[in-house]
Amino acid sequence: MKHSQQVGDDRGQMLLATGVVLLLSLLSMAVFSVKVAGLTSAHEPNADSVIETTKEVVDILPSLAENRTEIWISSGMERIDAAELAMSSIHDDLLHHGEIRGVEVKMQEIIVSVIDGTTMEISLDLGITDDSSTLQSQVTFTINN
């Protein structure tokens, strides 16, 4: 008499599960190795974002401050108040723009001085930071209004 009964054999499923676990372990080690290897790379594509942003801000700041100051003077504000408001609004705009680009742009210690009837000097501490570096510089320029 033959007895034919299906015996549940889980060996194949266990072998498959062990293979999957081993494969995932190897994959996670490979990803970790690539990340560690990237820490020693000489140049990352976004590593110069602080330098580039600083250059852009220093280049555009005088004309932007002069144009905004002119707008508020023509609307009836005093020259020094208009220049201070211009710098405040520029700071707010650059701070927001920097957040979009992944850098933080801060202008601190903004001083507006009247030189003569048409010229004002603006000086400030400019600080630009990203997740890995910071660059601080003193910026001084003149505007005519």
CATH number of the domain that residue 136 is part of: 3.30.1300
* Residue 28 forms part of a structural domain: no
Please give the residue that has the higher pLDDT: either 24 or 59.
59
pLDDT over 90 at 7, yes or no: no
pTM exceeding 0.75:
no
Please, which pLDDT band fits residue 43 given cuts at 50, 70 and 90? Answer: very low
* Residue 25 forms part of a structural domain: no
* Residue 3 forms part of a structural domain: no
What tens digit of pLDDT does each residue of 126-136 get?
999 988 888 99
The end-to-end CA distance of the chain, in Å, is 112
**DSSP 8-class letter at 7:** P
* Average pLDDT score over residue span 51-68: 93
Residue 109 belongs to what domain range? 49-144
- Percent of the chain scoring above 70 in pLDDT: 80
* Residue 87 forms part of a structural domain: yes
* Residue 8 forms part of a structural domain: no
* Residue 105 forms part of a structural domain: yes
pLDDT over 90 at 140, yes or no: yes
Mean pLDDT, the chain, rounded, equals: 83
* Residue 85 forms part of a structural domain: yes
pLDDT over 70 at 83, yes or no: yes
For the chain, what percentages of helix, strand and coil (3-state, to nearest 5) are there? 55, 25, 25
State whether residue 61 is helix, strand or coil: helix
Residue 96 CA to residue 48 CA, distance in Å, equals: 19
* Residue 2 forms part of a structural domain: no
Work out how many domains the chain is built from and give that number: 1
pLDDT over 50 at 101, yes or no: yes
Q: Which of 44, 60, 45, 136 is nearest to 97 (CA)?
A: 60
